[in-house]
Structure 1
Amino acid sequence: MSIRAYFQLMRFPAVFTALSDIALGFSLTRLGAESAPNVPWWQLAVLALTSGCLYLAGMVFNDVFDREIDAVERPQRPIPSGRVSVAAAVRFGSVLIGIGLAAAAVVGLSSLAVAVALTLCIFLYDAILKKSILGPLAMGGCRFSNVLLGGSAHADWSRLTDFAAMKTDGLPPLLWVAGGLFIYIVGVTLFAREEAGESRRGPLFGGLLVVDLGLLALLAWLAFAPENSGVQSSFLLAFGVIMFTVNRRLADALATPSPAKVQLAVRVMLLSIIMIDAVLLSAWTGNVTLGLVVAGLLVPALTVGRWIYVT
């Protein structure tokens, strides 16, 4: 059993998208333009550890539950190829979950509660809902929960659950952004459902529409939310570049729905989450340096991605 086999089992390059979500969620509840200088950065680091462990565990258990179909469609993967045994994968995934939940508990009960909800969402998707009509919603729910995890230590939960107030005051930033990423990931999941073989254009087009709906929801928050009234046009332009890049790959895959084209489009959509998070964080905090730090997560994602597949 090689180390590379375990990194492939975890689809390691994609974990950096989960870390960027944590930074974004944390910024929406703790790093406003007038944030105090004594920011508890240790909480951000520990929440990132929680998110990373749970994300990687989800990938491990995804392959555990898919081992029979992977033996036919993806025999090169670690479990069907025999490079990692099922028992070893289960042990490894369980350790990751244990570390993730323990780390969340260190931050506080709210973070632990969100981490438990995220874990349940992961198992619902991997074990039960993946092939059903609810599969994309479950995957979107995982991303939604991950953004909430980032904000869990400092979120105003009374406001986040006061639906009556939202009718007049609108959605809190954390919910609006997490909701936009939820829609985006639902679209990505729809687009990727047939990536192992020749994809049908109908489902691909449906996925494209949902992806763009999610992007437009995030753009709407960036451009029109009251708390972003002074947002610089450069952030809107940067977000527009991201939308163009994503849609160019989606259009290529729609024109030629081969596994290679579709998988490339899925890879671009996943890694674009890092840039989406970086732009939204920069716009919210007014701190371009923090945004560049988050955008820097793209470097290890791309570097490791040359060695380990993402999808």
Structure 2
Amino acid sequence: MNATAAVRMPRLSTLLRLGRISNIPTVWTNVLAGSLIAGGDRNPGRIALIMLAMTAFYVGGMYLNDFFDREIDARDRPGRPIHAGEIRAGTVSSIGFGLLAIGIALMIPFGLAAMIWGALLAGVIVLYDVWHKGNALSPLVMGLCRALVYVGTGVALAGGTSHAIVLGAVALASHVAGITYAAKQESLDRVGNLWPLVLLAVPLLAAVPVLFSGWVVIAAFVLLLAADALAIRLLAKRPGRGSVPLAVSGLIAAICLVDALAIALAGGGAALVALCALGYPLTRLFQKSIPGT
């Protein structure tokens, strides 16, 4: 079956799968971390609105990823919804671009600068989706997408960027770039060179100078280190079929732990660090029902 035979009304499971909804907690913890690091307005309603905007950007980007990859997926991943006839390619495209537009619109209440950063994020998302196949720099572009969540949140709540936001964004981008490198090999269920995974260490290295400033920082550091080590072991050993997708899903969930460490370093306190850290098991739980990749 191909996309021309797609049903008119896709199932809810198809829509959730296309949006990789299981990974949404990682977007929410990105916003929590960005809002704390920015040190600006912490009004819960405004933070929730940014979470909604960033969720729209993320899900829209995932839809467009499947849309632009539909021909390659027909060869390498024929079970993806478009090729399997579960939804029309045009529908996927419309939903994807529509969600990006919604994300930009939701940034308008925070001012012109925030809206512009939202539009920039949408543009980088589209750039990645269009250009990532066969592009050696695509992991860096994906990392930039996540970095812009921190920056966009900071601009929306604090009116601008800061050294702390930029440092946090670089650390987050490095972790996500490492994930993306591994994910590029997922359809082959193998990883070539492991050295690019050193990017995963950047958030940990950033914490080393102040590692012993408190038990909360140490706890967040150990949690992220353990999650990364577990995933890297799977990538290196590959004990069974599906090890690479499993490791990639784990690293995606570990984005929540990157955020937990960022909050700990910013002095956010045990409660907020624990809230972000809980995003890791929550994401892993969701991934059991809806694949994260």
Q: TM-score, normalised by structure 2?
A: 0.89
- Determine if the alignment matches structure 1 residue 196 to structure 2 residue 187: yes
1:169 aligned partner: none
May I ask how many residue pairs the two structures share in their alignment?
284
2 CA distance for matches of 1:197 and 1:129?
16
- Give 1:1-311 correspondences, 5 Å limit: 1-30=10-39, 39-155=42-158, 157=160, 160=162, 172-202=163-193, 205-212=194-201, 214-220=202-208, 223=211, 231-256=213-238, 260-298=242-280, 300-311=282-293
SS for the counterpart of 2:83 is coil
By how many angstroms is 1:65 displaced?
A: 0.4
Paired letter, 1:235:
V
Contact 2:142–2:180 (8 Å) recurs in 1: yes
Paired letter, 1:219:
A
SS for the counterpart of 2:136 is coil
1 CA distance for matches of 2:53 and 2:221?
28
Unpaired runs of at least 5, structure 1: 32-37, 161-171, 224-229
Paired letter, 1:190:
Y
By how many angstroms is 1:91 displaced?
A: 1.6
By how many angstroms is 1:299 displaced?
A: 5.1
Contact 1:8–1:77 (8 Å) recurs in 2: no
Paired letter, 2:266:
W
By how many angstroms is 1:122 displaced?
A: 0.4
Structure 2 CA distance for partners of 1:89 and 1:240, relative to 1, 3 Å: same
Contact 1:222–1:236 (8 Å) recurs in 2: no
Q: TM-score, normalised by structure 1?
A: 0.84
By how many angstroms is 1:90 displaced?
A: 1.3
Structure 2 CA distance for partners of 1:24 and 1:107, relative to 1, 3 Å: same
Structure 2 CA distance for partners of 1:221 and 1:129, relative to 1, 3 Å: farther
Unpaired runs of at least 5, structure 2: 1-9
RMSD (CA atoms): 2.1
Contact 1:13–1:308 (8 Å) recurs in 2: yes
Contact 1:22–1:149 (8 Å) recurs in 2: no
Contact 1:274–1:298 (8 Å) recurs in 2: yes
Instruction: Output one character per residue of 1:54-82: Cα deviation in whole Å (capped at 9) or x when no partner.
Output: 00000000000000111121111111111
> Identity rate of aligned residues, in percent?
25
By how many angstroms is 1:177 displaced?
A: 0.9
Contact 1:200–1:257 (8 Å) recurs in 2: no
Contact 2:35–2:42 (8 Å) recurs in 1: no
Structure 2 CA distance for partners of 1:173 and 1:259, relative to 1, 3 Å: farther
Paired letter, 2:271:
T
1:165 aligned partner: none
Contact 1:198–1:259 (8 Å) recurs in 2: yes
By how many angstroms is 1:281 displaced?
A: 1.4
SS for the counterpart of 2:180 is helix
SS for the counterpart of 2:36 is helix
By how many angstroms is 1:113 displaced?
A: 1.3
The farther-off stretch of 46-55 and 73-82 is 73-82
